[in-house]
Structure 1
Amino acid sequence: MSELQEILDRAADGGRISPEEALELYTKAPLHALGRAADAARRRRFGDTAHIATYLIDRNINYTNVCVTACKFCAFYRPPKHEEGWVRDLDDILRRCGEAVELGATQIMLQGGHHPEFGVEYYEQVFSAIKREYPQLTLHSLGASEVEHMAKVSGVSIEEAIRRIKAAGLDSFAGAGAEILVERPRKQIAPLKESGERWLEIMETAHRLGVESTATFMMGTGETNAERIEHMRMIRDVQDRTGGFRAFIPWTYQPENNHLKGRTQASVLEYLRLVAVARLFFDNIAHLQGSWLTVGKEVGQLTLHFGADDLGSVMLEENVVSAAGARHRSNRLELIHLIRKAGRVPAQRDTLYNHLVVHDDPANDPVDDRVVSHFSSTAIERGIAHPELRIVVAEAHSGGA
């Protein structure tokens, strides 16, 4: 038996592989053998429910595009005092939450720029208002970068900031701001952001305080293969201590309207190989999500054969990634169809990956054609999503709600 096959078999059986072995698999393992091993690891992990692949209905609400961090890959942000900067008022945010509930969303992801005036108090106000109006919505929002920023603005510790926004209604953190955690490439694309070690430290604090999260990876900004594996190693080490990452979500950098301008990108094959290696490497993270939004629906479907158990969400609104060029739209029925055509039974899930509706009979599939994802309304000139959602770009404001 070859050395590569031995590593594949061990990982498929649930054994731990080292970062060095993961790099060997990522760069040298035959594609089909890599996919088979990852799929075996997935089936082993999920057992009686391995025939199911999940999706989510949620809405990303961006509360401001004003940001002091100026990441080179971002096409969404505007610096403070820029004429195209805006802040959504609280009524606008609540209206969007109401529309999401009407369309069956179970989760809201609030994300935005690092506004120079937004401290912990701003987020307390927004979260408590949403929970008061829509207690059924899960607030899976923000990330370590926003926590670092709000704590600085308010002059409080990371721990106090997390405790306060949790008390106000935050249910879990998104993996936002991870990008790549390794120092060299992180400094190149986001020199003003906190270090990868600091990002993980904040997540570890959150996990200790009872706030779980996801972990993400934006690949294709000029990092090496070894740095891709190192990013996952850093996450796995924290997960060994906390168990607080419920999912790993890799996605690909989008090249439009930003300073990097697509000089570096990740190919479809690189992406699929990374998904498979992630399933084999993360013996301590339950879920792995394929990103149809950035790589397209057909590749998203393929990830279900490379270790992924989830296809992410029918995003009723998404402005950040699509502002950088992601143009893939979908709807609930199409995601259900993609999952079924991949040989799996589709199921709608909640934030904690509980199955809400299992679509085991096509005759009973939902027929609400309003549950549709859309292009960014800010990415296309005068662009608008589907009219029934009445999604518009908020008017500019000088301060927060």
Structure 2
Amino acid sequence: MTETPVISEILQRAAGGGRISPEEALLLYTDAPFHELGEAADTVRRRRYPDNIVTYIIDRNINYTNVCVTACKFCAFYRAPKHAEGWTHSTEEILRRCAEAVELGATQVMLQGGHHPDFGVEYYEELFSAVHSAFPDLVIHSIGPSEVLHMAKVSGVSIDEAITRIKAAGLASIAGAGAEMLPARPRRAIAPLKESGERWLEVMAAAHRLGVSSTATMMMGTGETNAERIEHLRLIRDVQDLAVGNGYEGSFRSFIPWTYQPENNHLKGRTQATSLEYLRLIAVARLFFDNVDHLQSSWLTTGKDVGQVSLHMGVDDLGSIMLEENVISSAGARHRSRLTELVQMIRDADRVPAQRDTEYRHMRVHWTPADDPTDERVQSHFSSIALPGGGAGRSLPLTPVNS
């Protein structure tokens, strides 16, 4: 690839904070020289975050059920209703897992599960209320637009009413779950029973209007075209423009692309995204999203080496030490990390590590190695569903602290 005058002008404009079009983003994605692309994206990061800080968070993904009626072709987690391997955890089990997470320093919990045919708004109200009452300082960053649509349908209420009620029950933030690929063709191919990309975005726009912020995600590698990847970015940017332009209390805090995992699902890895494709997408996203503050790398799906390289492609957040994770892990993601290792990854990339909260406020900045955490027990990603019944009653497999 050779940097042409046209590409050079686009890179310079984007690096300086100017807006680029989807067509220009596609040209950068396919044709811009890799190092120049990364340098432009990192210029944006440095301008936005001159303190050179890269953040992480400690949280736990707790799945309340694996029963689901959506049957997405890329998913290895779900079980159909009445399947012998289906399970639903009690509130007591979920609270026990929350307590373990808090003990290890978690500030956020992701409560997620399948689209259970019996779970309406009332179920989520009770669940969120129980967690919020028991752990008022534990932020509930949970579910996604798909779950909102499902619970609204089961209960026979509007999207606005469903969001308002679960917000009142304790939901603080909506996860970007279920975005996968938003353009119609690839979405129908991998999740024909799931809502359209337009409906997913409609729920996010409603949440933002009602004062609930969220994240935005993208799963790449299931056969979508380069143009469809960029179209996914455009759709998200347009919804963010709506939130910002109207002064909504909620908006997209960050964008989190990740790569499809090929094990134990119907797609069987016939198509996948390469590490280079992922890194180029990360860089283009930083240049394209002039209205989204943060960019998070998914080292869980790409590996820690690619995660570290992404810090030179515009990324300012390495995501979480997720004490438990089942959905992506069940599809083959095997990457694990201790908190101490994640912090060292950031430091080795010549960045300053900092623990953040859900809103990206810095809780602890590790300005020097002497400030780094030392608790070796804090590690990811324990997969409880490898055990019968979803691992009910099974505690996190902690290792002793090094002396």
TM band (smaller chain)? over 0.9
SS in 1 for 2:257: strand
Residue 368 of structure 1 deviates from its aligned partner by: 1.1
Match of 2:361 in 1: 354
Distance 1:286 1:103 in 2: 28
SS in 1 for 2:74: coil
Match of 1:395 in 2: none
Residue 275 of structure 1 contacts residue 303 of structure 1 at CA under 8 Å; is this kept in 2? yes
Match of 1:280 in 2: 287
Residue 228 of structure 1 deviates from its aligned partner by: 0.1
Match of 2:215 in 1: 214
Matched, 1:4 2:4: no
Residue 322 of structure 1 contacts residue 379 of structure 1 at CA under 8 Å; is this kept in 2? no
Number of equivalences:
388
Deviations 1:317-363 (A, max 9, x none): 00000000000000110010000000000000000000000011212
Residue 87 of structure 2 contacts residue 389 of structure 2 at CA under 8 Å; is this kept in 1? no
Q: Which shifted more, 368-377 or 4-13?
A: 368-377
Match of 2:352 in 1: 345
Match of 1:363 in 2: 370
Residue 382 of structure 1 deviates from its aligned partner by: 11
Match of 1:310 in 2: 317
Distance 1:259 1:275 in 2: 27
Residue 278 of structure 1 deviates from its aligned partner by: 0.1
Match of 1:79 in 2: 80
What letter matches 1:203 in structure 2?
Answer: M
Distance 1:69 1:381 in 2: 22
2:48 to 41, 45, 49: 45
Distance 2:389 2:161 in 1: 41
**Identical-pair percentage:** 72
Deviations 1:290-310 (A, max 9, x none): 110000001001111000000
SS in 1 for 2:207: helix
2:30 to 27, 31, 36: 27
Residue 8 of structure 1 contacts residue 37 of structure 1 at CA under 8 Å; is this kept in 2? yes
Residue 13 of structure 1 deviates from its aligned partner by: 0.2
Structure 2 CA distance for partners of 1:156 and 1:174, relative to 1, 3 Å:
same
Normalising by structure 1, report the TM-score. Answer: 0.95
Deviations 1:272-302 (A, max 9, x none): 0000000000000000001100000010011
Residue 340 of structure 1 contacts residue 346 of structure 1 at CA under 8 Å; is this kept in 2? yes
Match of 2:39 in 1: 36
Residue 60 of structure 1 contacts residue 318 of structure 1 at CA under 8 Å; is this kept in 2? yes
Distance 2:276 2:221 in 1: 12
Matched, 1:328 2:335: yes
Residue 324 of structure 1 contacts residue 379 of structure 1 at CA under 8 Å; is this kept in 2? no
SS in 1 for 2:166: helix
Matched, 1:103 2:110: no
SS in 2 for 1:60: strand
Residue 388 of structure 1 deviates from its aligned partner by: 5.7
Structure 2 CA distance for partners of 1:9 and 1:170, relative to 1, 3 Å:
same
What letter matches 2:123 in structure 1?
Answer: Y
Distance 1:70 1:187 in 2: 12
Residue 390 of structure 1 deviates from its aligned partner by: 5.6
Deviations 1:112-148 (A, max 9, x none): 0000000000000000000110001000000100000
Residue 57 of structure 1 contacts residue 313 of structure 1 at CA under 8 Å; is this kept in 2? yes
Residue 218 of structure 1 contacts residue 251 of structure 1 at CA under 8 Å; is this kept in 2? yes
Residue 381 of structure 1 deviates from its aligned partner by: 8.7
What letter matches 2:63 in structure 1?
Answer: N
Residue 253 of structure 1 deviates from its aligned partner by: 0.3
Distance 1:15 1:109 in 2: 35
Match of 1:187 in 2: 188
Residue 377 of structure 1 deviates from its aligned partner by: 2.9
Distance 2:333 2:283 in 1: 23
Root mean square deviation of aligned Cα = 1.6
What letter matches 2:118 in structure 1?
Answer: E
SS in 1 for 2:384: coil
Q: Which shifted more, 58-67 or 38-47?
A: 38-47
Matched, 1:169 2:170: yes
Residue 86 of structure 2 contacts residue 389 of structure 2 at CA under 8 Å; is this kept in 1? no
Task: Structure 2 unaligned segments of length 5 or more: list them.
Answer: 245-250, 399-403
Residue 46 of structure 1 deviates from its aligned partner by: 2.0
Structure 2 CA distance for partners of 1:172 and 1:125, relative to 1, 3 Å:
same
